[in-house]
Amino acid sequence: MPPAISVQALSKTYPKFKLNNISFELEPGTIMGLIGRNGAGKTTILKSILNLVHPDAGEITYFGQSLIDNEMDIKQRIGFAAGSINYYPKKKINHIIEVTKQFYSNWDDVTYRHYLDVFSLDEQKTPSELSEGMKVKLNLTIALSHNADLLILDEPTSGLDPVSRVELLDVFGYLKGQGKSILFSTHITSDLDKFADSITYIHAGNLVTSDNLKNFLQTAASQNLGNNLEEIMVNYETEDFHEKLTH
């Protein structure tokens, strides 16, 4: 089976930042965590692979199909959520959904109602009446309601209380069990220690490594970088920080 996502030699230059030659593959039915410090380039990668910003170079395929040639079809199979929902702040959720669902041929009202219930969301409210965490949950509900085969989520757990975070990770586990693939960025590396199958680590626009979690941890341990993702990141990034500080 082809990878759910294949990214080859992706580059994107902003005036003061360069995402440099990033390559990774997400195996179908697996969960990948995208990690890196603030400003490392995670959101730029996620937006580039969705063609929300235009990369300078790189080849992106989903399920073996080129994004450029099949964007409309591929986007029907992807659920994307970045941060909280900010559009139509004064419209009731049920109204927003009536508009949103027209964009998706696979929209499934039963699944939508299921996740409204799972996340205890009231569709009579407007986004401006939701807490930040509830907005994240609404965004995810929308992403999950068109039976996407692949979820691409930018910091989906930020703003969630610890219980909601664990509930969301349960949802991820359940979706993986149904063969879905998930790529998500997060700063909560302990969630990835438990849930991720693979890790893609970005440092200052460059790929440190993209590997399955077990190999990643083994390699880092053999380099005395630590035994979990947080230790590894802190050790790796602090070395760089010390070098800057002392030169």
Ligand X SMILES: Nc1ncnc2c1ncn2[C@@H]1O[C@H](COP(=O)(O)OP(=O)(O)OP(=O)(O)O)[C@@H](O)[C@H]1O
Rounded to whole angstroms, the Cα distance separating 61 from 110 reads: 30
Beta-ladder partners of 147: none
b or e along 113-133 (b: 16 or more beta carbons within 10 Å of the residue's beta carbon)? eebbebbebeeeeebeebeeb
Q: In whole angstroms, how close is the CB of 52 to ligand X at the nearest point?
A: 11
Residue 39 or 89: the one with the smaller Cβ distance to ligand X is 39
Beta-ladder partners of 33: 184, 199
Q: In whole angstroms, how close is the CB of 38 to ligand X at the nearest point?
A: 3
End-to-end CA separation in angstroms for the chain = 49
Contact residues toward ligand X (CB under 6 A) are: 14, 17, 36, 38-44
Residue 145 or 200: the one with the smaller Cβ distance to ligand X is 200
Q: In whole angstroms, how close is the CB of 42 to ligand X at the nearest point?
A: 4
Q: In whole angstroms, how close is the CB of 73 to ligand X at the nearest point?
A: 27
Rounded to whole angstroms, the Cα distance separating 6 from 3 reads: 6
Residue 5 or 40: the one with the smaller Cβ distance to ligand X is 40
Residue 149 or 155: the one with the smaller Cβ distance to ligand X is 155
